Amino acid sequence: MEKTSGMNKFTAFFLRFLRVVVVLAIAIALAKLLIPLKKEPEKIQIVKTPPSVKVMIAAPVSKVMTVEAYGTVKPRKLVKIAVEVPGRIDYIHPYFIEGGKIDKGELLIRIDQRSYKLDSQARQVRIRQAKTDIESLKQDIENLNGDIELSKSSLSLARKELERVTALTNNQFASKNTLDRVEQQYLQARITLQNINNRLSLTDTLMEQKNAALAMARVDSRKADLALEKTEIRCEFDGLVLNKYSEVGEYVNPGQVLGSIYEKDSLDVDVSIPLEKMKWIESFFDKGKTPDAKVMVANFDSVTPCVWNARVARVKAKIDDKTRTLPMTLEILNPDVKIKNIFNLKPGTFLKCSITGETYQDIYVLPRYLLKSDNILFTVNDNHLKMIKVNVLRKFEEEVYIDQGLNPGDMVISSPLPGALEGMELTIKENGK
């Protein structure tokens, strides 16, 4: 039994071994059959192609430097209408309303004039009274001068009579009583002349008083006429009403503001310029001139925005200590130009202002994105990359102004170039595109 079991195990092992050998023999036979049928792989040579880039040709141009700022329109001449005399308003111009147009010289507001006219008439009466008093005094002076002549004649006769009676008395032809009576007449004639002279001497002072009274009456009359004149407020220019605070029948007091009006077509805009931007326009001020400017409505949705001419009218005397900017006032030269015929330029409009500065010659204007860090530009020289360092005159909006480092005809790479290395070989796209 044990021999039979061992024989079975050996037979099973042999059969398994035989199967393995058969499989290996078939695999080796198939391998030998397929190897001669295998094709040789095609050899492909890898050719390195230089990166293709777009370029733009550098060309020097003349460029006007501009300084941009924002500001709000304000009236150049704004007048607050206030009364100088008290009273009740009896007239207001029908167009004295917000937005109303008033022509130069037209009556805006009138205060009730009745009491002021009566006061003016009373002052005229006082002038006539003062003139009458002067004329009366002149007549008195003339009469006194006539009385003096008569008094002198009477005194002369009294003196002669006194001399005659004195001589008769000395010769005892006249009594003492007669002499005393003649002496009294002589003294009375002297007193009369003295009184007239005294009255005449006072007439100079009286005349000064009368003349002063006349002058004061005339001053009072002018004051009354001026007060009457101030009851009417007239427009001193062609203007537009900005505000109105009064109505007919309202009682007003001196200094009370009744409204405001600004001069038509006379507008300014205040802007603040950063100090670092002043270098682009300061040469104008050094020459005693002021730069021109253009203004347009900011954030105005229009295909053809309306532009107004302007100029720098003045520079403020103080730098803003909060923003470190220099305030300026621009004078708008043609504010009557309308936007789409809808409205004129008005106070409160938010404007974008562009001040024309100095002109620079032979500079290069490139898109700002072409400038790499450390002011490096990528250029193509003999189909190789050349990195050049340039001097940037100014960075303005989406452009960069270069005044040194570039030459006319330099090819500046305008397309992205990842992994750029100095001297790497490049190819330029056809037509630089």
At residue 429, the pLDDT reads: 83
pLDDT of 418: 86
Q: Which of 318, 306, 323, 343 is nearest to 99 (CA)?
A: 343
Distance from C-alpha of 336 to C-alpha of 341, rounded to nearest angstrom: 10
Residues sharing a CB contact under 8 Å with residue 345, sequence separation 6 or more, in sequence order: 73, 267, 308, 332, 335, 337, 339
Question: Which DSSP state fits 63?
Answer: E
DSSP conformation class of 236: S
Q: Is-contact 372 378, C-beta < 8 A?
A: yes
Q: Hey, is 209 helix, strand or coil?
A: helix
Question: Are 120 and 225 found together in one domain?
Answer: yes
Residue 16 lies in a domain: yes
> What would the mean pLDDT of 21-49 be, rounded to a whole number?
68
Strands 52-53 and 427-428: parallel
pLDDT for 39 equals 63
Q: Are 231 and 113 in contact (CB under 8 A)?
A: yes
121 and 100 in a common domain: no
Separation of alpha carbons 110 and 101, rounded Å? 18
Residue 48 placed within a domain: no
Distance CA 345, CA 355 (A): 19
In a domain, 379, yes or no: no
d(CA 125, CA 76): 46
With beta carbons less than 8 A apart as the criterion, state whether 240 and 102 touch. Answer: yes
CA–CA dist 16, 22 (Å, integer): 10
59-104: pLDDT as tens digits: 999 999 999 999 999 999 999 999 999 999 999 999 999 989 999 9
pLDDT given for residue 432 in this prediction: 45
The region that residue 400 occupies, defined by phi over 0 for left and psi between -120 and 50 for alpha, beta otherwise, is: beta
Within 13 A of 414's CA, how many CA atoms are on the CB side?
14
The predicted structure's pLDDT at residue 233? 94
CA triple 354-358-359, angle to 5 deg: 105
| Higher pLDDT, residue 168 or 393 | 393
Band of pLDDT at residue 167, cut at 50, 70 and 90: confident
Q: How is residue 425 annotated by DSSP?
A: B
Task: Identify whether residues 282 and 255 lie together within a single domain.
Answer: no
Residue from 309, 304, 256, 312 nearest 282 by CA? 312
CA contacts within 13 A on the Cβ side of 179: 14
* Average pLDDT of every residue of the chain: 86
Residue 376 forms part of a structural domain: no
Shared domain check, 89 and 132: no
Query: Quick one: what percent of the chain has pLDDT higher than 90?
Result: 45
- Whose CA is closest to 257, among 248, 245, 249, 247? 245
Residue 202 domain flag: yes
CB proximity list for 68: less than 8 A, separation 6 or greater: 352, 353, 354, 355
Going by the DSSP 8-state scheme, the letter that residue 37 receives in this structure is: G
Q: Which of 9-18, 55-64, 68-77, 204-213 is the least confident region?
A: 9-18
pLDDT band at 127 (very low <50, low <70, confident <90, very high): very high
- Co-location of 106 and 242 in the same domain: yes
Cβ contact 363:58 at 8 Å? no
Residues 136 and 185 in one domain: yes
Q: What is the mean pLDDT of residues 255-270?
A: 92
β-pair partners for 70: 352
**Residue 49 located in a structural domain:** no
Judge if pTM exceeds 0.85. Answer: no
User: How many C-beta atoms lie closer than 10 Å to residue 228's C-beta?
Assistant: 18
Count of C-beta atoms within a 10 Å radius of residue 68: 15
Q: In the structure encoding, which two tokens stand for residue 253, read together?
A: 């007091």
Domain that holds residue 138: 114-229
295 and 337 in a single domain? The answer is yes
Q: Are residues 129 and 140 in the same domain?
A: yes
Query: Does residue 295 sit in the same domain as residue 164?
Result: no
Q: Within this chain, do residues 207 and 279 fall inside the same structural domain, yes or no? A: no
Q: What is the CATH number of the domain that holds 276?
A: 2.40.30.170
Residue 141 half-sphere exposure toward CB, CA atoms < 13 A = 13
Determine the average pLDDT of the residues in 10-33. 73
Tokens 């309308």 locate to 338
3-state secondary structure of 72: strand
Q: What CATH number is associated with residue 251?
A: 2.40.50.100
Q: What is the pLDDT confidence band of residue 208, given thresholds at 50, 70 and 90?
A: very high
Of 362, 397, 416, which one is at a domain's C-terminal end?
362
Report the pLDDT value the prediction gives residue 9, as an integer from 0 to 100.
66
**Could you give the CA distance from residue 18 to residue 7 in angstroms, rounded to a whole number?**
16
DSSP characters over 91-125 = EE-TT-STT-EE-TT-EEEEE--HHHHHHHHHHHH
Q: How many domains does the chain have?
A: 4
| 141 touches 203 (CB < 8 A) | yes
Q: Which residue has the higher pLDDT, 399 or 176?
A: 399
How far is Cα 348 from Cα 346, in angstroms, rounded to an integer?
Answer: 6
Average pLDDT of the residues in 247-271:
92
Element (H or E) spanning 21, and its range? helix 2-34
In a domain, 175, yes or no: yes
Task: State residue 120's pLDDT score.
Answer: 92
pLDDT at 7: 62
Which of the listed residues 333, 362, 391 is the one where a domain comes to its end? 362
Q: 103 with 243, same domain?
A: yes
Rounded to an integer, what is the distance from CA 334 to the centroid of its chain?
A: 15
Q: Determine the residue type at 270.
A: D
In a domain, 380, yes or no: no
Per-residue confidence (pLDDT) for residue 433, from 0 to 100: 46
Same domain, 277 and 342: yes
Q: What is the pLDDT of residue 256?
A: 93
